[in-house]
Amino acid sequence: MRQQAWVAAMFSPEAPQWRPLETGDMQGNRYLSWKTEDRPDYVPEFADVRDEVERVWKLIEARPLARELAGQIAKDTAAGQPLTAAAAAAMEQKDDLEVVEVGPFTWLTRGTAPFGSPPMLSQPEGLEMPGEALMAAVFALEPGQTTVAFNEPETVCYAIRLASMEPDEETLRSRFVDDGTDARRLAVLASREAGGVMSRWLEAVEERNGVEWKRPAR
């Protein structure tokens, strides 16, 4: 199965009109869409998009401030202060902060997907659209350690403290070895990593050879 972003598939010049395209998101929802028309690229008048430009600009400018505040909360927590107390101090500056206990949860989940489908990121209740970067940050921690990570669209910055990890790493390794006899399961698990390796390899080749695209690469 070819893994391709919806935007790339729908806006590709080779994409035919009226051909249905089935896609899914991280929450497990499935969508059916099709292209009805192709229009030439154009630059809209600033007055027509001012509100959207201003919204996105504010979001981008706020990200370093959010990371700094979350970093201070994580630092205070790492120094022995309870997360709720550290957040309470920050709430005196910002009234839109929230402390939530999330989990337990896994990095990946199969959900209700049939066997043979690749696993997907879990969507724990209490986290808004977590991505690979956030999951990697969480599962790199030892119990009691803290870190800072954004969600996938970088609209929420989390100060994270890992309460516990169960089962322990040795048990997880044993389970992995026990399941290693089923090549189909390993193939499904490795498909995501294989795609990432190919993408990084192509990027390295382009960088090493000084490739400069005159139009967006497909």
**Residue positions counted in the chain:** 218
Q: Are 60 and 77 in contact (CB under 8 A)?
A: no
Tell me what pLDDT residue 1 has. 43
Q: Is the pTM of the predicted complex or chain greater than 0.85?
A: no
Mean pLDDT confidence for 160-183? 79
Higher pLDDT, 217 or 1: 217
pLDDT tens per residue, range 109-165: 876 655 556 677 888 888 988 988 999 999 999 888 889 999 998 999 999 988 888
pLDDT at 192 over 80: no
- Name the residue with higher pLDDT: 218 or 1: 218
pLDDT band at 92 (very low <50, low <70, confident <90, very high): confident
Locate the DSSP E strands across 155-203.
157-161
Question: How many CA atoms does the CB half-sphere of 57 hold within 13 Å?
Answer: 6
Q: Which residues of 177-210 are buried (b: 16+ CB within 10 A; e: fewer)?
A: eeeeeeeeeeebeeebeeeeeeeeeeeeeeeeee
Higher-pLDDT residue of 103 and 113 is: 103
State the amino acid at position 199 in one-letter form: S
pLDDT digits (tens, 9 = 90+) for 24-70: 765 667 888 898 888 888 888 999 999 999 999 999 999 999 999 88
Which comes out higher in pLDDT, residue 149 or 210?
149
Calculate the average pLDDT of the chain.
81
Q: Which region among 19-28, 36-45, 178-187 has the lowest average model confidence (pLDDT)?
A: 178-187
Tokens of 128: 């808004």
Q: In the chain, what percentage of residues exceed pLDDT 70?
A: 83
- Say whether pLDDT at 183 is over 80: no
